[in-house]
Structure 1
Amino acid sequence: MATKPANKGVFTAHTFDFLRDLIENNNREWFHANRSRYDDAKGELISVVERVLTSLSQFEPLANTAVKDCIFRINRDIRFSKDKAPYKSHLAFAIGPGGRHSGRIDYYVQIQPGGQSFLGAGMWQPTPANLAKFRQEVDYNVDELKGIIEADEFKAFFPEIHGETLKVMPKGYAADHPEIDLLRRKELFFVHRFTDKEVLKPSFADEVVRGCRIIKPYCDLLNYLFFDEKEEPVTL
């Protein structure tokens, strides 16, 4: 009897089983002996990314963005790390124009056992120039930003905020500024976590797309501030 083909665009328990075993056996010998299991897990990842990319393309400018360009390698760069484990304990992809190296604010998804899977997006490790642009926007025109990140749907889907915060106010801003919390932010990255059960649902890719649609206005605002806004000419 022929084997029934797996549904496309979904993860199965196989992927989590592989990652759990990899966490316990993070060495090259084990990985090469279980290479076929990794290939199967990567195949599921590719299928999910294809489904997400197809849906995102309906409201994001993602022409010429290939699935392979969105997926991160599982190999870790251990050259400058004290942790010499050769492999990551998760699978991951990021979708932006051209893939994971778009250079813009994009959507990041990580698949990891134990309820550690998540969708995240936002300001992460900005350049000093971009951080200054963010703070200027908060100082001069905070209503648009707050209208996005304080909306009920946004807060319900993205309850976690990650990133470094200054203990004191940044230079040039008064300590009693009404937007003190936002101005002290060095990073403002929002996260939606998925349980393992949620990742294995047929609707997982659709939920990722729904989350991307919700956080898109925030990403659009950051991309405009950081990359698209034209510098006003200086008049003497």
Structure 2
Amino acid sequence: MFSLKFITMHYFTQDFVAFFKDLAKNNHKDWFHENKKRYETSIKKPFEVFVGKLIETIQQYDTNIVIQPKDCMLRINRDIRFSKDKSPYNLHYTAFISREGRKDKSIPGIFLRFSPEMIGIMGGCFGPSKEQLHKIRTTINKDATTFRSLLEHADFVQKFGEIRGETMKRIPKEWQEACKKEPLIANKQFYFVGEEASGLISSENLLEEVMEYWHTMRPVNEYLLKAIQ
């Protein structure tokens, strides 16, 4: 699929998964502070190194990605203000790599979630604005065949399955005929998700495997990016 040669290496030890399993049993500030050094050594620092290397690799194909790992990585602290679950820490580590990073999730990119259960690898438009949504729908409606061909490509189907997202509960009259031709026009989000076993986290082939997902999602991401600009 792509010709870049990878130098295999381990970015994470098995303690990445073990730490989050322990945190799940001890999700409170006292335990976390007692294990802060372990968190820095096994989670935060190697994740930053990996995200930096992933950005560097992506830049060889997309020079518009000019961003630092700190602009992509999300905090381990949970926002508990409006949640019944007051556990202070997430049980996964995440990053959103795109032209705008974590500050704008409407821009298509690659979203990573590493957890003890699995690696989630996501792409597409997760939070488009009303204006962006109208542009996406208009673009699809003008040439639904092109959009559909990207989604039905064998590699995309194998890794991601299909486009996901909330849909309109009531379809406005202006979009009713279009939605009959292409039901995805009714979506309010256009994202897709792939999964790998958590064992990949400590594998020496992690970067290469994630880049295969990036290459597979790239045509759909670029279609959506062009649509919203």
TM range (shorter): 0.7 to 0.9
Aligned position for 1:169? 171
Q: 1:155, 1:66 → 2: CA distance?
A: 31
Distance in 2 separating the partners of 1:22 and 1:13? 15
**Please, which runs of 5 or more residues in structure 2 have no aligned partner?**
1-7
Which residue does 1:199 correspond to in 2?
A: 201
Among candidates 126, 129, 137, match of residue 127 of structure 1: 129
Compared CA separation, residues 122 and 170, structure 1 to 2 (3 A): farther
1:226 corresponds, among 216, 224, 228, to 228
More moved, 190-199 vs 168-177: 168-177
Residue 91 (str. 1) matches residue 82 (str. 2) = no
Query: Are the counterparts in 1 of residues 151 and 162 from structure 2 also a CA contact under 8 Å?
Result: no
Q: TM-score, normalised by structure 2?
A: 0.87
Aligned to 2:11: 10
SS at match of 2:174: coil
The amino acid across from 1:130 in the alignment is Q
- Residue 50 of structure 1 is matched in structure 2 by 52
Query: 2-side partners of 1:20 and 1:76: how far apart?
Result: 17
TM-score (norm 1): 0.84
Greater helix fraction, Structure 1 or Structure 2 = 2
Partner of 1:154 in structure 2?
156
CA contact (8 A) 1:91 1:112 kept: yes
Task: Kindly name which structure, 1 or 2, has the bigger radius of gyration based on alpha carbons.
Answer: 1
% identical aligned pairs: 28
Equivalent residue, structure 2, for 1:231: none
Name the counterpart of 1:234.
none
Q: Over residues 43-89 of structure 1, what are the superposed CA-to-partner deviations in whole Å (9 max), with x where a residue is unaligned?
A: 22122112211211111125642122221111122223332211111
User: Which one is further off, 61-70 or 150-159?
Assistant: 61-70
Provide the rounded CA distance (Å) in 1 between the counterparts of 2:92 and 2:210: 17
Q: Which runs of 5+ in 1 are unaligned?
A: 1-6, 228-236
Q: 1:113 to 1:79 in 2, by over 3 A?
A: same
**Paired AA for residue 173 in structure 1:** W
The whole-number CA distance in structure 1 between the counterparts of 2:175 and 2:14 is: 51
Check 1:171–1:126 CA distance in 2 against 1; reply closer, same or farther (3 A cut).
farther
**Kept in 1: contact 2:179–2:186 (CA 8 A):** no
Worse overlay, 124-133 or 23-32: 124-133
Secondary structure of the corresponding residue to residue 227 of structure 2: helix
SS in 2 for 1:126: coil
Aligned to 1:26: 27
Pick 1 or 2: higher relative contact order, CA cutoff 8 A, min separation 6: 2
C-alpha RMSD of matched pairs (Å):
2.1
Size of the aligned set, in residue pairs, is 220
